[in-house]
Chain A
């Protein structure tokens, strides 16, 4: 939480108006950068060494660690694979979730045993139940 001694400035006024999706985007962006930075530091891997590992320029790694890079899932997955650790994880309410494919598609029960679990506290607000998308249907029933 931000501590503000002067909370009546125009800055606070604009900060309060930041849309929720931008708050989440920037929070995630910084969290991902900080997570990568933390893993590198923990393992004594320099940016230069990491650039070689990732087959990227050092300037690209710099951008990744700046907290303002728009990562693709592909890049995050590659980083996770190279560092052999999760960079982000999607929280799951339960192991079994119903996944609606289309409006008329059959609901499938998906086994989530191998899925990742929530680690980052800030990601809590991404957590939701898939069943809420399908309140009126039972397993295997079609959507109407």
Chain B
């Protein structure tokens, strides 16, 4: 089954622009759903994730904050790497200035691939990451002064499991 996603700007922080993905016919973005859903069950973890993102916003989305080469997830897709959290939130670290935040969930298995919910969120971001790279290659997207231009016109068809 295909689902259309668009990328929408969330915040322009001091050093980083935040974007979120928004599924067609959904009331809110995957990130907002994640925060609202888990703020009831895991309020402390949600707070840590929000604060972590704001710190990234202050300092820049530096590679070392993400431990890029340690994960098994391919491309630019990474889990927010706060230690000892049960929640996993996935994002695309495009560069030091641009962070696209996807969705996530509760980690209940050793590998994200073994959890259908988490795997789904990763797969969505992996497809968007690939499509973004293609658009950059074709010139539909470009970075000017650290700002991605052209995103507002784009939507992506993403394959999702039924």
Contact = CB atoms under 8 A, between A and B. Distances in A.
Interface of A: 1-7, 9-12, 14-15, 17-19, 22-23, 25-27, 30, 33-34, 37, 59, 62-63, 65-70
B47 A11 contact: no
Nearest to B49: A14
A67 B55 contact: yes
Contacts of A9: 10-11
13 contacts: A2-B57, A3-B12, A5-B12, A9-B11, A11-B31, A14-B50, A26-B48, A33-B64, A62-B70, A66-B66, A66-B81, A67-B64, A68-B82
B118 interface: no
Contacts of A15: 50-51, 54
Contacts of B151: none
A34 B66 CA distance: 14
A37 B9 CA distance: 31
B83 A11 contact: no
A2 B46 contact: no
A22 B44 contact: yes
Nearest to B32: A10
A70 B84 contact: yes
B67 interface: yes
B52 A26 contact: yes
A14 B65 contact: no
A19 B39 CA distance: 13
A2 B59 CA distance: 10
A12 B11 contact: yes
Given A6-B10, A27-B55, A30-B55, A66 B67 contact: yes
Most chain A CB within a 10 A radius of its CB, from B12, B54, B57, B81 = B54
A26 B46 contact: no
A66 B51 CA distance: 14
B11 A14 contact: no
Nearest to B33: A10
Given A18-B50, A67-B65, A3 B13 contact: yes
